[in-house]
Structures are given as structure tokens and as C-alpha cells.
A and B are shown apart, each in its own frame.
Chain A
């Protein structure tokens, strides 16, 4: 079990310039997510879902407001501190996996270790191999191109979990998968939250995934439209 941090968002405004106009891409007045929550962020395309996810990871600088994990404002530290924090606290999963086809599945999983100032320790290699085994990726040495899309997404999940992060952010994790592969990924996300107490926030418009997640947060044109929760969600 990991100890996930609590998320607190206050008066978050993300604005971008479109010609001469300032367009508000995201506006969230208040949101608290308890540790170990499985949260679905839903909404139509262009509603600000991905922007929200990037803001939670400290990848963008909002016009105003704070994103705090365990009370620590993300933007308070330097960029290199945020990088290190993100590496160890946040696991990222993308719709298109973004694996390197020239590397083996194991090397892909170990890629974040190459960001560290010291080379990957043997324990990390063992962990990477263990994650692949856990997610049922058939061969550690097989080329990425030989894996099914579902298997590729599971390699991406293993990569996201290399440093055992307490938070997992997933951007449309099942959108590129067929039903059974999507089901498997959805189950994995559920397990990560419910069995391992990780905070999992998934941007999705996949009805299958939305249905399995009881805590939902709906965005429309950058504004919070609706929240539904079986847990503590403001």
C-alpha cells in the first residue's frame, strides 16, 4: 500500500491567448480529492479535461489559483523540483501510449530511470520486470511493435508505476483499445486505487470506464458542470 497525497485545488484559472482575446481554458473554484480516490474527469472534446490533468501535474502555469498536493503548492518550487516531484509522485498514462518502438518493453519501462542523476539500480530493473509480469506482458524482450495495443498500454502503465508513485494521471487510457483490452486497463486502474490506495485520476469519455468509476467530475467549456461522488468530493 502506498500513501497517496490529498489533492486540493483552489480558484484555478488557466487562460490562453487567441489572437487579441484571452480565453479561459479552465476554471475550477474548489476541488478536494481524498487519497486513494479513483476519479473520472469527463466532458466533451475541448472542455479542458487534459488541461486540468496537466495543471494537476504542474506542467502548466495557471493564471491564478493553486494546486496543492498534501498542502504543498505545486508552483512554489523550482522547475527542477517539480520535475523530480512529478517523477516520483505522478505516473502518467496517455491515450497513444508513447512507447519507444526501438526499445524493448523492459527498456521502455525503465526509461524514467534514465532521468535520474544515477543510473538505474538493480532493484528498479527487478521492479520493472515485476510490473511487466504483473500486467501479463508476454515477453520482456519482444519488440514493442509485436505487442497488441492492449499490451502496449499495459507496458505504458508499468512505465508509469516504475517509481511506485502514489498518484496516477491517465489521459484517455482506454480510447485506443478494443473492449476487452479497455476492460483490462479499467480493472487495473480500479485495483491501483482500491487495493493499493493510489489516487487515480482518469480523463475519459469512454462509457465503460466512466461506468466503473463512482467519483466523477464533469467539465464543459473549462467550467465544472457536475460532480458525483461516492467518496468525499466537493
Chain B
């Protein structure tokens, strides 16, 4: 187990270093940082001095090492556009995005898995057909259309839910949460549903396909022949065997949601990272872009690490092989 975790952690460090290199390269290839910092009228001597001060004359590996060291301490420099430390900007925006993403991931799992199991088992029932047909809407309608439709019905016509923003937020240290106030809960409903719809459909169809596959296997037939109750077969033996692919997809998607919740955030004017990133791109705000890139990569790496550990818990065959591999060397 330990060897496995260490191995995965080393891989994660490798990935992060590679991403860090790309983020660092952006500073050198997208404009000259000195130009961005001093005005047009600065003299050649001033520039040279600043260059020396900033350590830009140091060899490339030294510069990169400093970038990594700074990044590790959370220092990504100043935003060119806002003239504020990038770390602060991100710390302000991150909670909104993470809360939205996890709310929608939980919605997607809470609906996707049971509906997938149901449509997998009762595949000839008309209820399953209705669920599958309706779920097509989830994949085929673009996110912004769903968002705007929801706003029109629930905010404009019915006036039940707010159409934009996070509602009232409470500060917990640097983390601002909307989940402790009623207004915050009302505000997150529509964005979370919008963001989760596609995921729900994906999980539903994946679980269904996997269930159909697993129900044909010999061990399910044998479990029936042993006279186990249907519930134990469907939700124990069968569902557990669908988990590995489902965990993979859910993991990849959570990473994707954090990185690309941009459209939903724009439609609902959700003050998250997506909006910050869009603005940074428009202004070529390199420090923000670099920090965003590193952050998103870190999220992906973390989620994938969690996915790998979950595999390990779910499938004893992996444990066996790893244990042999780990113990043998």
C-alpha cells in the first residue's frame, strides 16, 4: 500500500513539475515581464537594473527553481490587470468554484448511479425507456441553454430562485462559503443543476452499460443459483463490479468541471475561477494564467490520486499485483 502511494505521489510531482515548466515558459514567450512592469519611458539602464533585481539574468534552471519555490509558497506574483497578488485573487474565487463543482458532482452521483442501476436491471420497463429518453436531453442541450431556461422559469416566471450570484456568503478564515445561509443555498441550486445535468447523464449511461455487462457474467448467474436476495445481487455484487470505470470517469469529470465550469459561471454570474480566467485571457494577464494553469493541474493530479487510491480499495486484484510488485523488489 505504502509503496503504491509513494509511487503515485512521485508521478504526481513529475506531472506538476512539467506543468510548472509550461506555466513558467509563458512568462518568457508571452511578452517581456520587464516591459509590463516599467513604463514606456524607462531608460535602458533602469531596465537592465530591474532585470538584474528580478533575477532574469540568472541561468534558466535557476529561474525555474525560483519560480517553483515561489509557487510552493503560494507566490505567483502580481496580477498585471488588478495590481494585486495573484494568490489573493485565486483564494477569493476558489471557494465559489469548488462549492459549485462539488454540489453538482454530488447531484450527478445521487441521481446518475441509482437511475443507471435501475435502467440496467429493468431494461425493458417503460420507466427505463422514459428515463433514457429524457436523459438524452441532458447530453444534447448545451449548458447555457439549460441555464437560461432554468433562469427563465424559476427566477423570472416563478420568482423562486435568484438568477445570479452566490447569495449571502459567510467567511470561514479565507474560505467564503455560501452553504451556511439560506440565500446561499437558494443561489447554488440552479447553477449546480445546470452543471450536473451532463454529468448525471454520463454517469447514468455508463452505470447502465456496465450493469448490463456485469449482469451477464457467470458470477451473477452463480449468485442467483446460490439463492441470494435480488437486492444483494444488484446493489452488492453487480454494482460494485461497475465501480472501477465509474470512478475513473467521475474523477476525470470533476477535474474537468473545476477547469471548465466557465460557461455555467458566466450564465449565472457566479464569482468563481472561470470568470477570473476569462478576464485574465482577455488582458493577457500572464501571472494569473500561469497560476490558473498550475492550480487546475494540481486539481487534476489530486483527483486522479484519489481515483487511484479508490481503485485500490475497490479491487482486491490490484492490491494483490501491487503487493507482489512492491514486495518483490
User: Are the chains A and B members of one assembly?
Assistant: no
Which residues does B use to contact A, with CB under 8 Å?
A: none
Residues on A facing B (Cβ under 8 Å): none
